[in-house]
A and B are shown apart, each in its own frame.
Chain A
């Protein structure tokens, strides 16, 4: 077995691995254990009672965290005419059409999110092979294919996060930084769990929130009792 580092051993002393904590306690522990030299990201993980193989049980979407993720995203917008101006006004970092497409084709990737208006998708689609592998393709469900560029940009800048179930029915979402105040983290967490409860597919059977845990980038995971918030 791999050796546990000193930090890891110390962190584990504080946590009772068998105990299910409530949200506040858990996030407090995570904050205490985030002792790395940088500002660690706090992440929540949910194991859901859905079958991701079934099309109607694929939970996917985006939501805005009330206190953001602590990261500002660089936004690139593909739009033309009025929409381009609107995007610029809304604070997009890059706005353009064919010029940007050429630039990306040559290997330029200084942005985190791409927003495109539907009428630009025919052009953006040509970048599929470049953007797809990096997960940068605009997608309507996460709100990045839309005419309402202003709203999209504002939301992304405010701390919009994407959530989706993976093949093992898990959802991983960042909910802030370890430097956040505890109540901000708790509110972010509650907003996320609330959203996930709302999007529960009707066809999902049995327990929906099977396991929940929060952790920081370098810290250990802390389990949360799903019944403490999902009522």
Chain B
């Protein structure tokens, strides 16, 4: 008995001595990157070196302008390595591109063009899968564009815009696929769940505008007047702006920074708030009207103000896309279970963000349309989303 317990004790001691060694050897392999940008940079290095014609072909298929053909299948097959890297980045929260903020408006953003192309590759891959009849894989690829768009970034205004553009292409692809899979209730239920949970936060312009504000305030200084002159004259009205800059002094610059900062803070409050689209648009318009075109202070502040009305509209259109997609899945699910499209819009569906009311629902000969009830005040148009049901 004594001997047995001695063996037990020595066994435990040995095991406890061996454990750190065993776990240390397990730790020898470093983990995969936790920064999605590192994976995307590898994707850029492994994406096929396609010529312009092939890249255009991929873009056309991604945006639905051209059907999937053998050539595009070959192109996409060559991009498989890049697609794998993008897939690996999907679940990562962090995405730091190593952007050189210190360079201000002159900072280069080479990743944006590459990300745009990679987005086209991914969406084209979705369309290839759909043409093979694998709708689930195709829709999953579209869902992947949620985190992808977030990774493109909401850290500068321009990366926010590219993120929105990428997301829009993904929604358009999803819109064309939902109708094709309209008879598959199981698939639609899965998609409904995924859209509610895994799609992630949409790109949001607030962080981007805050960073933009800091960059602009830093640029509006006498010690950077030459750079500022170049930036302002790049944007047109050369003579006028050159004249104003000739008058620039510390006092004017300080005042311009104050005006710019106040306007941006007011705009951020409007954009971050929950005001209806029309009201938010009106408030932003009023902010712009306060600026006097003949005052050097307000002209300088205005020159660096981003197109806030466009930002508001883009944000709202993106929300409309997301909500229409979710509503369409519910409508198609109704059809899958009852065998026909509902006569009227079912209750409890997401609302049109332009008006805050239900989407206008209309059955067509090929499927159905979800139409916004509020107008896009920038383009003076009504957005609608058409779904062709198979």
Chains A and B bind each other: no
Query: Which residues from chain A sit less than 8 Å from chain B, CB to CB?
Result: none
Query: Which residues from chain B sit less than 8 Å from chain A, CB to CB?
Result: none
